[in-house]
């Protein structure tokens, strides 16, 4: 008999999978990651994601915009991979994905909107 995964266990699996994605696809993993399942949303907060070069580049307005644009484009191109990651962990499809990055704090937020409420998937 297998024990059903708790919400906390699933959030931890999401973190591990997103960290793996960041390392393999983006070339560098975050120093910290947290995932939160809230109704029909999954919020992932990544800390320490910028490379030293990106940190240097972000010190002026032009570089700041360049880093944000590059990181946003990379994530947009990887959207199918991220959707597959969330589906593999939760069994739920993604309706939309939203993201932003702070070059001043080195944090990224990824918000996944699910096709239905997480707690409704058992029904």
Residue 121 lies in a domain: no
| C-alpha to C-alpha distance for 86 and 13, rounded to whole angstroms | 9
Residue 109 lies in a domain: yes
Mean pLDDT, residues 5-30 = 93
| C-alpha to C-alpha distance for 21 and 55, rounded to whole angstroms | 21
DSSP string across 46-111: EES---HHHHHHTTSHHHHHHHHHHHHHHHHHTHHHHHHHHHHHHS--EEEEEEEEETTTTEEEEE
pLDDT given at position 101: 93
pLDDT at 2 over 90: no
Residue 70 lies in a domain: yes
Give one word for 39, left, alpha or beta, with left for phi > 0 and alpha for psi -120 to 50.
left
Residue 2 lies in a domain: no
Residue 85 lies in a domain: yes
For the full predicted model, state whether its pTM sits above 0.75: yes
Domain count, the chain: 1
Based on its alpha-carbon atoms, the radius of gyration of the chain, rounded to whole angstroms, reads 15
pLDDT tens string 78-121: 999 999 999 999 999 999 999 999 999 999 999 999 999 988 76
Task: Name the residue range of residue 27's domain.
Answer: 7-116
pLDDT tens string 56-71: 999 998 999 999 999 9
CATH number of the domain residue 32 falls in: 3.30.980
Better-scored residue on pLDDT, 48 or 120: 48
């Amino acid at each position: 008999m297998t024990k059903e995964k708790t919400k906390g266990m699933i959030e931890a699996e999401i973190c591990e999978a997103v960290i793996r994605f960041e390392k393999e696809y983006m070339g560098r993993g975050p120093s910290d990651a947290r995932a939160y399942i809230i109704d029909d949303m999954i919020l992932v907060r990544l800390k320490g994601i910028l490379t030293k070069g990106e940190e240097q580049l972000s010190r002026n307005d032009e570089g700041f915009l360049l880093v944000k644009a590059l990181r946003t484009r990379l994530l947009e191109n990887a959207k199918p991979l991220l959707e597959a990651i969330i589906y593999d962990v939760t069994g739920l499809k993604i309706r939309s994905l939203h993201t932003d990055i702070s070059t001043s704090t080195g944090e990224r937020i990824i918000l996944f909107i699910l096709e239905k409420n997480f707690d409704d998937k058992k029904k």
